[in-house]
Structure 1
Amino acid sequence: MNAELFAVFAGSSIRLAAPMLLASTGELVSERAGVLNMSVEGMMLTGAFIGAMASWWTGNPAIGLLCGMLGVLPVALLQAFLSVTLRANQVVTGIGINILALGGTTLVYREIFGSRSEAAIPGLARWSPPGLGQLPLIGDAVFHQVWLLYAGLLVLAATAWTMRHTALGIALHAVGVSPRAVDQSGVSVVKLRYGAVLFSGVMSAAAGCFISIGDIHTFTEGLTNGTGYLVIAAIIFGNWKIGRTALACLLFGAATAMQFQLQMFGLHVPTALLVMLPYLLALIAVAGLIGRQTAPPSLTRPFSR
């Protein structure tokens, strides 16, 4: 393996990890607040579709990104209403929304473009941090990424600071541990959980837009291809900690990149094994084989006053 090929592999790993990093930032806040947002996959797909269609119609990918993030809010509100207000099973409702999103986006896309069309869509610009993009060998391959990735890193840092150092972050942590104590203190559990789910929806939509208008510049049926489920696995892998979750996303991104890069390194591994590798790592994480996992005590538990 030479340095140039390794740089290409590293850049691909970061690019493929970016959607998981964006979505996991919001999903982690939701789970810390006690709501397992299983509809991340559907929200990503909805955001990717709306963002792609708006970018195609207006010719402006920035408007497409904004429309995608705003257009997913009704889906997030539905998830919050079912999970928080109606206190329905969060796993069942999330999977139901995922199926609804897959069917809805496929139907509308086929009505607009036909069953086999892949429309070319204006994409988000790429950007390199000053100085880093000019580094030899790794500058262009690693750091020349879609600007949304760097914006996501800023949101990740801001979220980590908010969760650790502000009253809002303390309240979100507390509502996932003991919602009754939060309620008795006079803070609304319902508002906190609604806000957490909405934030998760917006970040999931940004992740979907990263794929459709940031990376491949088109939309295809079932575009997310299970990425939302890997996001949930990454949070379990990271033991509900922001830094470790980000590293888990990078690991899953590297596992996905291997599907395309190992042949360049002269390594001949069955394609089926490479395709299943990210999900195998996710299964290991969910099974608890990497150590004890400590979820928020009130995760998935409905609250009533």
Structure 2
Amino acid sequence: MSHEKEPKSDDVDSADAGQVMLAARLELPLAGTISPSFDWKADMVWIEGRELEWPSLDRQRNAASKSNLRRRCKGFRIDRTEVTNQQFAAFLSASSENLRFFDRRMDIVAVEAGQFRAVAGKEHFPVSYVDWLGAYSFAAWAGKSLPTEDEWILASLGERTLQPATTMYPWGTDRPDSLKLNSFHASSLPALMRVGSLPNGKSSTGVVDLAGNVAEWTLTGAASGKTSAASEDWMVTKGGSYLDLPAHCSVTQRAIHHRDERLAGLGFRCVVREKP
């Protein structure tokens, strides 16, 4: 895993075009082309589209530099919480094709052939040990999509703009603590928390757990910074996890994971690119 602070392209992410290429390469349905298995608007938050401006690393090092990256992000809906064990168990149970995405380390158990449920008491905890393809396939099944890195950042920022040399979190610039995010703290043992347990850490848009708990897969490829790079195997993840230091949970921080990785601190949430 590696951490970076800036995407490498100033082009606008073409999420829809990228998904066509990705779906063709992986022989998957397009996210959003399957009839939703539940009310896709339930517990989602509308994020207004706008231009997103990235202060470049050069500008952070040299105040005289004015080279910023600007991209336009359209409006979308995003899940208020991370996808839970209960939701992912329903996905696993929906088709035998989905069984390949089950991992015995999940807080999910098989109750009979092809049927799954969340471990008692863990229903509303974020699902983890999900690889990128499992997250993408869940999103397609639900009639949704994974967010691009830009969409994830916009949901975290609300109406704020990125500031050079400023560490920003979903709740603002206040110092992170255990009341705002579930990350690695020396004073406590690391453990996942029920989604929405830390309302003090929500963004101004009302989205919770964007920082900490589990890091989240995106549609954005690490090498190109685009969603149209169907040949990429390394993908951007955002938000950091309960196993990361607070500094790795900021809005601009990104990590890079291979699409096949299944980790204790890695999950996802979904978006819908439709008008409210």
TM (norm. structure 1) is: 0.27
Structure with more helix by fraction: 1
Structure with more strand by fraction: 2
Give the number of the structure whose alpha-carbon radius of gyration is greater: 1
Higher relative contact order (CA 8 A, sep 6+): 1
TM (norm. structure 2) is: 0.29
